[in-house]
Every structure is written in C-alpha cells, then in structure tokens.
C-alpha cells in the first residue's frame, strides 16, 4: 500500500487543462496508455484529480462512508443554477435525507405512469423533423427533453406559463453551454459588472415564475402524476413539507441533470444507429413486430457504455484519508470514477470500441463495470426517467423514419458544459418509413390523457 498519488502527466497545468477540456476522451486514453490506472491529472485552480477505472477500486469508491468522500463539495460549480439545497450539492446526513425525500418521485413505477405524456410530446416533436435532407438532431432533442422536464417534472400545462418559462430556461441553458459557465462565481460586487450580471437577472426572473408555480400548486392541492406533485407531498422526518426553496432547487437540479444529458445521449444513439446498419435493422425489426424490448434495452445499455455523456461520476472530494483500490489518498484530493475508461477496458469489454448491443444480451450490465449513471448512494436519481424517455424516443423515431448516415466519418466528440456530445449534433438523414406512412393514413388513435 502506498500514500503517494498515482503518476500522471508532468506537462504544465495549463496544457493539461486544455487537453482535458478540448479533447476529453483522447486525453484520457493517452494518460491511461502512458501511466496505467489510476492516474493523476492537474487542472487550473483545482486540487489533484485521480482518475479511477479499475472495477474493484470503483467499488471501494462507491461504497466509502459518506463522511470520508464528499461528492457534493466536488460539484460546487453547479451552485449558481441549482441552489444550495440541491441534492447534488449536499453531503452526509443532509444528502441522505434529501435523497430519501426525492426517491419516491423518481421511482421506476412512477416513471411508467408518465410515459403516455412522454410519448405524446415525442410524437409532437418528431412531426416537425424534415425528411430527405441532413438534419442536426441534437437541438431538436434538447427541445424535446426540455419539454418533457417542464411537463413531467415541473407539471406545467400548455399555455402562457409554460411558454414563458420555456423561453427563459432556454436562454439560461444556452449560457450553460458557454465556457464562462465553467468559471467559479465571481465575488458579489463584481457580478454586477461582468457578463454574468445578465445571467443573474435571468435567474431571478426564472425563480419568480417557479416560486409562483409552487405557490399555486400548493394552494390547488390537486392529485397529479408529475414529479412536483410527489415532492409537494413528501415530508421531512419531523413531518414538515419541503420548503419553497428546496422545491425550487430540486426542480432546477432535475432540469440541469436531466436535460442536456438525455438529449446528448439520444443524439449519440441516432448518430451511431445511422452508421450501424445491422444493429439498426435488428432494432427496427423488433420495434415493428412488437416482439418485446430485449434488443432495445441492450442497445440503450450499449450506447450508455460506448458513449457515456458524462465521462465520469460526480468528483468525490476526500475529507479523511482513505484507501481505494490499494492506494492511500490524503484529504484534499479529488477522486473520479471514470465511466469512459472502464467502459473501454478490453479486459472487461472485448473489442471495446465496437458498437455491439449483443454483448448485453449475453450479460447484464455490471454494477462496477457499467457506470453511466454513477453508483452507490449518489447513483443518478433520474436513471429510470432517462431510460423510459430514451426507449420512447427511439421507438417513436424508428417507427416513423429510416435513418442514413451523413458524411463518411463517425462524429467526433464535443464538450458541451458538463456533457460530451457529437461534434456535429448527431446529423443524419431521415426518410419516411413505408409502414409509417401507411399508419398515418389510417384513423388516428384516441389521444391518451396527459399525465399532468
């Protein structure tokens, strides 16, 4: 056992920062090839970051006691948007309590009840997709995942309130795409004169609308299926409901954690499927004959392995010395379970760079070898939500369209704030499927009632 940090690049910190931000996966691969696992990188203004990708070490990391590692402190950069009560930013007791309050709202069974609303919104979105020309799917998928969160999580109905909040949040999320959003918040006095002043004003206007929504929903007390309804009904251990600020912070957390992630993951899905005719044919066949969803599930597991949009779980700040995978780490170091690297380890996944859903027909995803949603007591709260959403979107798109690739080469990666998405937005060519045009000409089925 050793308490020296694992080796890593010795190039200047600025160059490491540039490499990590501009070519994230290539940089990680190079470090692994050169230094083995784990390795340590150093980025401007941050403590040493240790990349962990051995499954036994990942298990130690996910199972470490809550007072030893603090993921919440590691995610402070999100605070200006998600607020201080956000489950993502809490640690130890407060985190466990907040997570317990939120878990029922994101339970798999609840998500199934939201599926008719998700289907309706998906069908409406894809109605507008152009045929027979190259089309960048990412912005369209962003619009879809935003709409799903506003309707299924915030519980907004169609109308002026939904339109105003959608417009303001779209602006806010566009800001999140800019490199400025990666900087720590400036001191209060300065924030009035930097470009961030506009961001603050926008945030204040959004908060006003969200607090009004919470107030209205509390008064109304209606029986609804959306996530906000569940959060309004949740009680702390002493029997008190969540405060308006807690509710606001968790709504914004769901938005930040669940919007861009799912949109990018779906963009990768269609980009990959367009270039993998055998997979696409088998999947389209399963969808067309309604013979179950075994291959669809395997395809989603594979895309989450092959192109994890969050290349690592939340950074965990070491608060007390801890041994992870036989290495002793001192307080102050940050440990990252690296999904990209473990998912591309040939000892675990033969031919790891191939897109091959069949591998998940033979074996279920492993707890410490398949970690697109992180793990342990911090595992993504919205995993079921995202999986239901992805299944609905893939089914709807493939039932309606044939996909073809655009350009000879697969899309490279591009960092969008915290996610890694296709460099050209998942550009594909859509053609109407013969069976889809037949069913469009038959009488429309009765619309299912919206969940919200």
The residues that touch ligand HEM, with contacts defined as CB under 6 A, are 71, 87-88, 99, 153, 253-254, 257-258, 261-262, 265, 309-310, 313-314, 372-375, 378-382, 385-386
Q: Which is nearer to ligand HEM, 9 or 369 (CB)?
A: 369
Instruction: Provide the minimum distance between the beta carbon of 187 and ligand HEM in the complex, in angstroms, as a whole number.
Output: 27
Q: Which is nearer to ligand HEM, 50 or 254 (CB)?
A: 254
**DSSP string for 149-205:** IIIIIS-PPSSHHHHHHHHHHHHHHHHHTSGGGGSPPPPHHHHTTSTHHHHHHHHHH
Pairing of strands 134-136, 427-432: antiparallel
Instruction: Provide the minimum distance between the beta carbon of 5 and ligand HEM in the complex, in angstroms, as a whole number.
Output: 21
Instruction: Provide the minimum distance between the beta carbon of 342 and ligand HEM in the complex, in angstroms, as a whole number.
Output: 12
Instruction: Provide the minimum distance between the beta carbon of 382 and ligand HEM in the complex, in angstroms, as a whole number.
Output: 2
Is residue 38 reached through a cis peptide bond, with omega within 30 degrees of 0 on the bond before it? yes
Q: Cα–Cα distance between 182 and 188 in angstroms, integer? A: 17
Say if residue 227 is exposed, middle or buried (CB neighbours under 10 Å; 0-12, 13-18, 19+). Answer: buried
Q: Which is nearer to ligand HEM, 173 or 313 (CB)?
A: 313
Q: How many helices (H) and strands (E) does the chain have?
A: 21, 12
Radius of gyration for the chain, computed over Cα atoms and rounded to the nearest angstrom: 22
Q: Cα–Cα distance between 232 and 14 in angstroms, integer? A: 46
Instruction: Provide the minimum distance between the beta carbon of 429 and ligand HEM in the complex, in angstroms, as a whole number.
Output: 24
Q: Cα–Cα distance between 123 and 114 in angstroms, integer? A: 15
Helix (H) or strand (E) segment spanning residue 335 = strand 334-337
Instruction: Provide the minimum distance between the beta carbon of 257 and ligand HEM in the complex, in angstroms, as a whole number.
Output: 4
CB-based contact 388:294 (threshold 8 Å): no
Q: Which is nearer to ligand HEM, 38 or 374 (CB)?
A: 374
Q: Which is nearer to ligand HEM, 382 or 426 (CB)?
A: 382
Instruction: Provide the minimum distance between the beta carbon of 193 and ligand HEM in the complex, in angstroms, as a whole number.
Output: 33
**Residue 346: phi, psi to the nearest 5?**
-60, -20
- Look at residue 373 and give its three-state secondary structure: coil
Q: Which is nearer to ligand HEM, 13 or 233 (CB)?
A: 233
Q: Which is nearer to ligand HEM, 319 or 433 (CB)?
A: 319
């Amino acid at each position: 056992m050793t308490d020296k940090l694992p080796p890593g690049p010795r190039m200047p910190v600025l160059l490491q920062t540039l490499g990590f931000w501009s070519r994230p996966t290539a940089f990680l691969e190079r470090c692994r090839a050169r230094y083995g696992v784990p390795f340590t990188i150093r980025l401007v203004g941050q403590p040493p970051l240790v990349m962990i990708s051995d499954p036994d070490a990942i298990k130690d990391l996910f199972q470490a006691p809550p007072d030893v590692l603090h993921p919440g402190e590691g995610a402070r950069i999100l605070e200006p948007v998600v607020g201080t009560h956000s489950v993502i930013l809490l640690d130890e007791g407060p985190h466990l309590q907040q997570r317990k309050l939120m878990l029922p709202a994101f339970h798999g069974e609840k998500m199934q009840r939201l599926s008719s609303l998700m289907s309706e919104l998906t069908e409406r979105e894809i109605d507008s997709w152009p045929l027979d020309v190259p089309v960048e799917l990412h912005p369209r998928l962003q619009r879809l995942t935003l709409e799903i969160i506003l309707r299924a999580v915030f519980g907004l109905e169609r109308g002026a309130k939904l339109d105003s909040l959608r417009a303001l949040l779209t602006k806010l999320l566009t800001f999140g795409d800019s490199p400025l959003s990666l900087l720590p918040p400036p001191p209060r006095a300065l924030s009035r004169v930097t470009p961030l002043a506009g961001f603050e004003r926008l945030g204040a206007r959004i908060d006003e609308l969200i607090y009004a929504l919470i107030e209205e929903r509390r008064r109304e007390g209606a029986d609804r299926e959306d996530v906000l309804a569940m959060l309004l009904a949740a009680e702390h251990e002493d029997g008190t409901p969540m405060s308006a600020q807690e509710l606001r912070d968790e709504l914004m957390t769901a938005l930040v954690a669940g919007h861009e992630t799912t949109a990018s993951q779906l963009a990768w899905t269609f980009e990959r499927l367009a270039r993998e005719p055998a997979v696409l044919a088998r999947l389209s066949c399963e969808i067309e004959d309604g013979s179950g969803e075994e291959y669809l599930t395997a395809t989603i597991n594979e895309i989450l392995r092959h192109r994890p949009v969050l290349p690592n779980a939340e950074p965990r700040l070491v608060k007390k010395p801890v041994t992870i995978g036989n290495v002793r780490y001192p307080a102050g170091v940050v440990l990252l379970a690296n999904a990209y690297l473990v998912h591309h380890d040939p000892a675990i996944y033969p031919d790891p760079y191939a897109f091959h859903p069949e591998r998940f027909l033979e074996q279920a995803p492993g707890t410490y070898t398949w970690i697109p949603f992180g793990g342990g007591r911090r595992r993504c709260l919205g995993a079921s939500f995202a999986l239901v959403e992805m299944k609905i979107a893939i089914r709807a798109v493939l039932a309606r369209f044939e996909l073809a690739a655009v350009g000879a080469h697969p899309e490279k990666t591009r960092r969008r704030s915290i996610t890694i998405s296709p460099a050209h937005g998942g550009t594909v060519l859509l053609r109407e499927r013969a069976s889809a045009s037949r069913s469009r000409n038959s009488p429309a089925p009765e619309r299912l009632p919206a969940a919200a």
